[in-house]
Structure 1
Amino acid sequence: DEVLLGLAFALVGMAVYGGGIELGLSKIGDQVGSNLPVSFAPMENHAGRSIIKGFDKELVNVAVQPDGSTTEFFYYEDHGKIKVAKFDARNFDEIRKLYRYVPVRGPLFGRSPYSMAGILVVMIFAFIMGYSATLAEPSLNALGLTVEDITVGAFKKSLLIQSVGMGVGTGIMLGVAKIVWSIPLFWMLGPLYLLLLVITYLSTEEFVNIGWDSAGVTTGPITVPLVLSMGLGIGTQVGVVEGFGILAMASVCPILSVLGMGLVVNLRRKAFLKEYKPENLELTHEDVAV
C-alpha cells in the first residue's frame, strides 16, 4: 500500500511539475526573449497597434537627413499627446484610406540601434537569469554533495554550485552575443573546446570527471525551457533565422569554470600538504613524548 501511495504521489508531483514548466518557465523565457531586444533595438509594439481611418497621404511630411536620404513621417495624436510617427507605405491601404499604425519602442539604452550600452544590459540580464536558473536545479545540489564527499571536503558543495552557476551564466551571456551579432557557432565553440582540452590535460583525473559531468546541469528541467524560449524570442525579434546555440555555450562554460576551480583547489591542497609534511614541522620538547 505504501509503495502504491508513493507512486501515486510521484505521478501527481511529476504532472504538476511538468505543467509548471510548460505554463510557467517556457512562457517567462518567451516573454523575456521577446522584450529584451528593446534595450538595444527599435521594436514594433503590436499590442498597441491601431487602425487610422480616413488617412490622407497628403498628411505625410518628409524629413531630410544630412546624407541626403529622406524619411516620411506624420503627426499622430495618442491620448491627447501629439507624437511623431514614421510612415510605412506597407501599412497604408490607399483604396480604403486605412493606415495600420504600429508604435515603435526602443532602443531604451543608447541613442542609436544596436548600441553597446543596450547590448551590455541584455547580456548582464541573461547572465543573471542563467545563474539563477542553475542554482534552482535539483540535480546540481545532488552533484555538489557527491563531489564534496569524493574530494573529502576539498571541493565544497557551495563552491561547485557557484562555479557551475557562474559558468552557465557566462555561457548564456555569450550565447546571446552570438545571436545578436550573428556569430557562427563554430567560432564560439572552437576556441573554448581547445582551451578545455588544455585544461583537461593539466587537471587531475578526479577533477576532469567532475568538470565534464557538471555540464549535465544545463540539460535540467529548469534551465532548458527557460534558455531555449529566451533564445528563440531574441532571435525572432532581431531577425535571426534561428535562436539556437545558447545551450551549447551554456554547456561548455561550466566545464571551464569547474576545471579552472579544480586547478585552484588542487594547488591549494598541494600547498597545504607540503606545509604540513613531517620534515617541515619543528618539534618542541613538549611535543616529544618522554
Structure 2
Amino acid sequence: MQDIKDTIKEVVYAVMPITIVVVILQFTIIWLPFDVFLQFLVGVLFVTIGLILFLLGVHIGLLPVGEMIGSALPKTKKLWVILFFGFLLGFVVTVAEPDVRVLALQVDQVSGGDISRNILVYSVALGVGIFVLLAMLRIAFNIKITYLLAGGYSAVFLLASFTPAGFIPISFDAGGVTTGPMTVPFILALGVGVASVLRGKNSPTDSFGLVALASIGPILAVLILGVIYG
C-alpha cells in the first residue's frame, strides 16, 4: 500500500508543474479554445492514471523479473545463452518501447512514408539488442566501458560523414528514445542480475553503463539505414 501511495505522489509531483504552467499560459497569453483546453485537462487526467499504473507495473513486474532473468542466465554456465537472450530481450523490449513508436510515427509522417515506421522500429531494436549483447560481454570479461563507448562513438562520427544529413538528427533522437520507461528499467535490472552472479557483490558498478551502451546501437542502426537509403 505504501508503494502505491509513493507512486501516486511521484506521478502527481511530476505532472503538476507542466499542468500549472499551461493553465497559467491559458489565462494570460495563449487563450486556447475552451474545447482544446478541456481536452488538455482530460489528457492530463489520463496521463496521470496511465503513469501510475505503468510505474506500478514496472515495480511489481518488470524490475523483479528482469533481475531474476539476469541472475538465472549465468547459472547455465554457457556464454552463448547469456549473449543470445541478452540480445533477444534488448530487441523485444525496444519494440515494446512507446517512445520508439512515437518517433517512428513522426518520421513516417514527415518522410511521407519513405521511411517506414516498422523499418525504423526494428532497426532501432536491432541496434539495442546488439549493444546489450556487447554489454553482457563487457560484464563477462570485465572490459572497461570507456573502450566500448570510445569505439562506439568513433563509429558514430565516422558513419555520420557518409550518411545523408537528414538521418543524423533522427539517429541521435533514436538513441534518446530508447532510454524510455520500458527499456531502461528492464535493461538495468537485467544487468544487475547478470553482474551479481558473474562479477559478484564486489563489482556493483559492472551492472551500470548498459543504458549508455544501448543508446549507441540505435544511433548506428539509423546511420546505417541512412547510408542504405542514401
Whether TM exceeds 0.5 here: the answer is yes
* 1:257 equivalent in alignment to 2:221: yes
Q: What is the alpha-carbon distance in structure 2 between the residues aligned to residue 149 and residue 27 of structure 1?
A: 37
Choose from 205, 209, 222 the match for 1:245. 209
Distance 1:199 1:3, change over 3 A: closer
Q: What is the alpha-carbon distance in structure 2 between the residues aligned to residue 11 and residue 252 of structure 1?
A: 31
Choose from 5, 8, 31 the match for 2:68. 31
Please say if residues 100 and 178 of structure 2, whose CA atoms lie closer than 8 Å, have aligned partners that are also in contact: no
What root-mean-square deviation, in Å, do the aligned CA atoms of Structure 1 and Structure 2 show?
A: 1.6
Name which structure has the greater RCO, CA cutoff 8 Å, separation 6+: 2
Please say if residues 103 and 177 of structure 2, whose CA atoms lie closer than 8 Å, have aligned partners that are also in contact: no
Please say if residues 175 and 247 of structure 1, whose CA atoms lie closer than 8 Å, have aligned partners that are also in contact: no
* 1:208 equivalent in alignment to 2:168: yes
* Per-residue Cα deviation, 1:89-144 (whole angstroms, up to 9, x for no partner): xxxxxxxxxxxxxxxxxxxxxxxxxxxxx101111101110100001111111111
The number of residues matched between the two structures is 189
Distance 1:3 1:254, change over 3 A: closer
Q: What is the alpha-carbon distance in structure 1 between the residues aligned to residue 117 and residue 41 of structure 2?
A: 34
Residue 4 of structure 1, CA deviation: 5.3
Q: State the partner residue of 1:167.
A: 127
Distance 1:144 1:5, change over 3 A: closer
* 1:193 equivalent in alignment to 2:177: no
* 1:130 equivalent in alignment to 2:94: no
Q: State the partner residue of 1:15.
A: 52
Distance 1:3 1:245, change over 3 A: closer
TM-score, normalised to structure 1's length? 0.62
Larger strand percent: 1
Residue 191 of structure 1, CA deviation: 1.6
Q: Indicate the structure (1 or 2) with the bigger Cα radius of gyration.
A: 1
Q: What is the alpha-carbon distance in structure 2 between the residues aligned to residue 145 and residue 8 of structure 1?
A: 24
Q: What is the alpha-carbon distance in structure 1 between the residues aligned to residue 106 and residue 133 of structure 2?
A: 28
Structure 2, unpaired ranges of 5+:
1-37
Distance 1:145 1:120, change over 3 A: same
TM-score, normalised to structure 2's length? 0.78
Residue 186 of structure 1, CA deviation: 1.4
Moved over 4 A (4+): 1-6
Q: State the partner residue of 1:112.
A: none
Please say if residues 98 and 182 of structure 2, whose CA atoms lie closer than 8 Å, have aligned partners that are also in contact: no
Q: What is the alpha-carbon distance in structure 2 between the residues aligned to residue 147 and residue 5 of structure 1?
A: 27
User: Aligned ranges for residues 79-118 of structure 1 at < 5 Å?
Assistant: 118=78
- Overall identity of the aligned pairs, in %: 32
Distance 1:16 1:153, change over 3 A: same
Structure 1, unpaired ranges of 5+:
41-117, 267-290
141-150 vs 252-261, which moves further: 141-150
Distance 1:205 1:223, change over 3 A: same
Distance 1:8 1:146, change over 3 A: closer
